C-alpha cells in the first residue's frame, strides 16, 4: 500500500461504502416489511407507527416504529416530522407494493437472501472448482428467481419481446407450438399461454420442484391442456416440430450451452425460431461496471457460474456473457441467422434461425 492517502478519494469511497452497507443492512428489514404487509398497509395512507401497527393486523408498535424509522432513513418511505406520520409515495409503492409493476423488487430481496445463505457452499467451490446443483442452492432460490424475473416478464414478453421477432406474433395468434426451455416455475410459459390462446406451450426444466410449482400455477390459472410442464435437461428434450423455442435467463446457467444450442436446432420446425432472453451485457467486462452489471456479476458469482460448473462441460458463461459470445455459440450450433431483436434495461433478446 502506498503511504499517500488522497483524502478526497477516501471520503468519496467511504461515502459510497456507507451507502452500500446501508443497502445491505436494509435487506432483512425490507423482507420483514414485505412479509408482514407493512408496506401494503402504509400504501393505504399516512400513518403513525401505532396506526401502522394496528393496520397491519395488530403488530407490536415499538418494533413497527423502529422499522418505519429505518425505512425512512433508507428513503424507502416518507416521514412527516410535524405530524409524526409515515407514508408511501406512488413511486415507492411501485417498488414494494404493486406486484405487476415493472419495478416491483420483492423478488430481488428474496434473491439476495438466498445468495447470502449460499455463501459457505459457494466459498468451498472456490477451492475445488466444483459447482452447486440448482436444487442444492440455499433457501428457495428457485422461488426467488421466479419472483425476481416475473415483473420484467409481465411487462415485456407479450408487449415487447415476442413482437420484436420476425413474424412470430402473428404465428402465435394463429396457433403455434412453443417450447419454453429452462422455464423454472413457469411464469414466462404461462404469460405466453394466456396471451396466445390458439397456441400450445410446453415448459421444460431439469429441476423437478420447479416443474411441480409450474404445474400448480398452471392449474390455478385454468390453462388446461394447452400448457404442459415436463422435467427434462435441455439436451434431452425428445419432442420436436416447435415453431418457437424460448429460453428466458437460463442459457448461461447451462453447463453445455453449445450442446443445448445444437439440440434446440433439432427441436425446431423448418421455419422455427429460437428466442434467447439473456441479461443485458456489453462484450467487454468494463462495459458492465454499472448498477445493473454489478447486480448480475454478483448473482453470477453466487448462482449462475456454480450452476453451470456443476453440469457436464461446465462452460461457466456467467450472467454477463455478452452478445458476441452468445451469438458465436448459436452460430457454431448451425444457426445462420442471429440478431439482437430488442433489449431493455435488464435484458437483451436474441433471435436465431
Ligand X SMILES: C[S@@+](CC[C@H](N)C(=O)[O-])C[C@H]1O[C@@H](n2cnc3c(N)ncnc32)[C@H](O)[C@@H]1O
Closest distance between ligand X and the C-beta of residue 282, in Å?
20
Pick the closer one to ligand X by CB: 146 or 293.
Answer: 146
Pick the closer one to ligand X by CB: 37 or 209.
Answer: 209
Distance CA 353, CA 331 (A): 9
- Residue 206 lies near ligand X (rule: CB under 6 A): yes
- Residues 116 to 145: which contact ligand X by CB under 6 A? 134, 145
Pick the closer one to ligand X by CB: 53 or 106.
Answer: 106
Q: Which of 33, 107, 131, 146 binds ligand X (CB under 6 A)?
A: 146
Bridge partners of residue 242, in order along the sequence: 268
User: H or E stretch including 343?
Assistant: strand 338-343
- Residue 152 lies near ligand X (rule: CB under 6 A): no
Residue nearest to ligand X (CB): 184
Grid cell, residue 287, equals 462495459
Bridge partners of residue 37, in order along the sequence: none
- Residue 207 lies near ligand X (rule: CB under 6 A): yes
Q: Are 284 and 341 in contact (CB under 8 A)?
A: no
Pick the closer one to ligand X by CB: 92 or 307.
Answer: 307
Closest distance between ligand X and the C-beta of residue 190, in Å?
11
DSSP three-state, residue 43? coil
Q: Are 310 and 303 in contact (CB under 8 A)?
A: no
- Residues 243 to 282: which contact ligand X by CB under 6 A? 248-250, 253-254
In DSSP notation, 285-336 reads GGGG-SHHHHHHHHHIIIIIHHHHHTSSS-----TT--HHHHHHHHHHTT--
Binding site for ligand X (CB under 6 A): 134, 145-146, 149, 182-184, 187-188, 205-207, 210, 233-234, 248-250, 253-254, 307, 311
Amino acid at each position: 500500500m502506498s503511504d499517500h492517502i488522497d483524502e478526497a478519494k477516501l471520503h468519496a469511497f467511504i461515502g459510497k461504502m456507507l451507502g452500500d452497507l446501508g443497502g445491505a443492512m436494509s435487506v432483512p428489514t425490507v423482507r420483514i416489511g414485505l412479509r408482514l404487509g407493512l408496506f401494503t398497509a402504509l400504501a393505504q395512507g399516512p400513518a403513525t407507527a401505532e396506526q401502522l401497527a394496528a393496520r397491519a393486523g395488530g403488530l407490536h408498535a415499538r418494533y413497527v416504529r423502529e422499522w418505519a424509522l429505518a425505512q425512512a432513513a433508507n428513503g424507502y418511505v416518507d416521514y412527516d416530522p410535524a405530524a409524526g406520520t409515515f407514508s408511501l409515495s406512488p413511486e415507492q409503492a411501485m417498488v414494494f407494493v404493486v406486484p405487476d409493476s415493472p419495478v416491483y423488487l420483492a423478488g430481488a430481496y428474496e434473491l439476495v437472501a438466498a445468495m447470502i445463505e449460499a455463501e459457505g457452499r459457494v466459498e468451498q467451490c472456490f477451492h475445488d472448482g466444483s459447482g452447486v446443483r440448482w436444487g442444492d442452492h440455499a433457501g428457495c432460490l428457485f422461488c426467488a428467481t421466479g419472483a425476481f424475473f416475473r415483473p420484467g416478464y409481465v411487462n415485456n414478453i407479450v408487449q415487447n419481446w415476442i413482437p420484436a421477432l420476425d413474424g412470430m406474433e402473428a404465428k402465435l395468434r394463429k396457433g403455434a407450438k412453443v417450447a419454453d426451455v429452462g422455464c423454472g416455475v413457469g411464469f414466462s410459459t404461462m404469460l405466453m399461454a394466456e396471451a396466445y390462446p390458439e397456441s400450445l406451450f410446453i415448459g421444460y426444466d431439469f429441476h423437478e420442484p420447479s416443474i411441480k410449482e409450474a404445474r400448480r400455477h398452471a392449474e390455478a390459472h385454468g390453462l388446461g391442456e394447452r400448457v404442459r410442464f415436463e422435467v427434462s435437461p435441455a439436451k434431452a428434450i425428445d419432442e420436436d416440430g416447435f415453431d418457437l423455442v424460448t429460453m428466458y435467463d437460463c442459457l448461461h446457467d447451462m453447463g453445455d450451452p453449445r450442446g443445448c444450442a445444437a439440440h434446440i436446432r433439432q427441436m425446431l420446425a423448418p421455419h422455427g425460431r429460437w428466442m434467447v432472453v439473456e441479461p443485458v451485457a456489453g462484450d467487454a467486462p468494463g462495459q458492465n461496471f454499472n448498477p445493473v452489471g454489478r447486480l448480475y456479476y454478483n448473482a453470477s458469482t453466487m448462482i449462475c457460474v456454480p450452476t453451470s460448473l456443476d453440469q457436464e462441460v461446465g462452460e461457466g458463461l456467467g450472467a454477463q456473457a455478452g452478445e458476441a459470445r452468445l451469438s458465436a455459440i448459436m452460430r457454431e450450433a448451425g444457426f445462420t441467422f442471429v440478431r439482437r431483436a430488442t433489449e431493455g434495461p435488464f435484458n437483451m433478446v436474441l433471435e436465431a434461425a
